Amino acid sequence: MIELNKIYNEDCIIGMQRIKDNIIDLAVVDPPYGINFNSNYRTKSNLKSVNGILNDKDNIDLLEDVAIQLHRVLKDNSHLYWFTRWDKVDEQKPMLEEVGFNVKNNIIWMKNNWSMGDLKGAYAGQYECILFAHKGRRELNKVDGRKRHSDILQFDRIAGNGLLHSHQKPVELLELLINKSSDKGDVVLDPFIGSGSTAVACINTNRDFIGFEMDKDYYNIANDRINSYMTLV
């Protein structure tokens, strides 16, 4: 039995199989991109994820299985946000379309500072991609008096001394996506919830959440973060 406002320490595919069809209002998904990530700053950081992320190599079959489950559990006429990197869009966009999603945008998240990578042989990356898709069709909500927002969203990347996970997303960015694509009291699913940012964004926007995190350490970090946060709100 799946409970609301709870994170489960398990494989999200196994967990989502316990969710009934067509009951989730919105999915916010930040999967391992399939890039075999390792940080250039792994020797200077105590973040576990700088040394690698679970299931982050040759993982398109895994991601397709996740997408199939997401399409099943999402309600008709709902939205999906799928974070990825520029060099994985050509692989993951067709995959989402093949399982039934209608990809409407490749949203650019401008991080307003530089990411790592090939420090001498490549331009500094300053953005990530968010594939925005519909299951059926749902209109976007008005947020802060604006019905339509640009497909370039500028939110500062979290500073290194504030990171709980190397791929942690700003809560403010997640709040905008949640507000645009769901209503108060709706259920938001995050199958790779990491350090719990989506859960915090749901609490701030009066949504319920379901999250999965396979890594035990990050599962504990997310729960500690949520429990501490709840004492402040």
Domains, the chain, ordered by start: 6-230 (3.40.50.150)
Calpha distance 173→87 (Å, rounded): 22
Enumerate residue ranges in the chain where pLDDT < 50.
35-46, 48-53
Burial 212-231 (b: 16+ CB within 10 A, else e): bbbbeebbebbbebbeeeee
pLDDT in the model for residue 118? 75
Q: In what order do the strands lie in the sheet with 6-8?
A: 6-8, 208-212, 187-190, 24-29, 74-84, 127-135, 102-110, 152-154
Sign of CA dihedral 132, 135, 136, 138: negative
Task: Give me the pLDDT at residue 122, please.
Answer: 86
For 145, the token pair is 């008096």
The answer to whether residues 160 and 45 touch, using CB atoms and an 8 Å cutoff, is: yes
Cβ pair 130, 109 in contact under 8 A: yes
pLDDT value, residue 210: 98
Q: Is the pTM of this model over 0.85?
A: yes
Rounded-to-integer distance, Cα 3 and Cα 80, Å = 21
> How many residues appear in the chain?
233
Residue 26, beta-bridge partner list: 79, 188
Instruction: Show Cβ contacts of residue 11 under 8 Å, excluding neighbours closer than 6 positions.
Output: 212, 214
Q: What is the pLDDT of residue 43?
A: 45
